[in-house]
A = this chain, B = another copy of it.
């Protein structure tokens, strides 16, 4: 028997309502052997950029052939396209609003199609929930082994993620906080390789020393280290860096080279 296909989900639906459950019901109706994994459903409402970072961080860990279904879709019911993609042996499904852009940026082999095959959709399409009506059916088909190109015509270009160019670290010396996690760790757009040993990070007027593990920080001390997603983050050992430093997403971070 083929191993059960994995479908990973990410959305801004929250856990309070029935929206995630209904999307899973559609997935299991069409791909009953799938194993479903929640990446998160607590993306702040309509925050495409946060979802894009979560998706790009988690994707490389999914098993090959897994499908990531991403639904943060402020444009639902308008003319924005819905797309599916193959990236280094995994699949992505979501709206073409920048949500898949970071993950595709970081992939080598990739192909994108536009979802146009209405026979695969729910029979009646709501104007408010394309995650359930169009995207979940596409994700289920891919999980069940259907080919990407059977879902629609190849699309050469996708919409970029606006306001997030920094993730590639192409601003010399400086970066920004792009995500604050629930521990209060402040993840920046500085890639691991940009930080040299002995350097310090400057956040506002503070200087923060670079360590290897959270536990190297003294109690209450703000530190910088390379986090599990391969990005430089600000942290406080057993505390919240966001609270300690008084910063939020968007805060500027500068690498201070040794004299």
Chain A residues near B (Cβ < 8 Å):
3-4, 6, 8, 10, 13-22, 24-26, 28-29, 32-33, 35-42, 45-46, 54, 57-58, 61-63, 66, 74-78, 126-129, 132, 181-183, 212-216, 225-229, 237-238
Contacts and interface: CB of A to CB of B under 8 A. Distances in A.
A133 to B, nearest CB: 8
A181 B8 contact: no
Contact of A37 (B21, B63, B183): B21
Contact of A182 (B16, B62, B77): B16
A29 B63 contact: yes
* Among A22, A41, A46, A129, residue most surrounded by chain B Cβ atoms (within 10 Å): A22
A213 B37 CA distance: 29
A45 B129 contact: no
28 contacts: A4-B32, A4-B33, A6-B32, A13-B182, A14-B182, A15-B41, A16-B182, A18-B39, A21-B37, A21-B58, A22-B57, A22-B58, A25-B66, A26-B61, A28-B35, A28-B63, A32-B35, A45-B183, A46-B238, A76-B214, A77-B213, A77-B214, A77-B215, A126-B226, A126-B228, A127-B214, A128-B226, A128-B227
Nearest to A181: B17
Contact of A77 (B16, B17, B29, B212): B212
A8 B15 CA distance: 14
A122 to B, nearest CB: 10
A interface majority secondary structure: loop
A39 B24 CA distance: 9
A127 B225 contact: yes
By Cβ-Cβ distance, the 8 closest A-B pairs, closest first, are A77-B213, A21-B39, A14-B182, A129-B228, A3-B32, A127-B213, A25-B61, A18-B58
A66 to B, nearest CB: 8
Contacts of A228: 19, 22, 126, 128-129, 132
Contacts of A35: 28, 32, 36
Given A15-B15, A17-B181, A76-B213, 16 more contacts: A6-B28, A8-B25, A18-B54, A18-B229, A21-B39, A21-B58, A25-B62, A29-B61, A32-B63, A36-B37, A46-B238, A77-B216, A78-B216, A128-B226, A128-B228, A132-B228
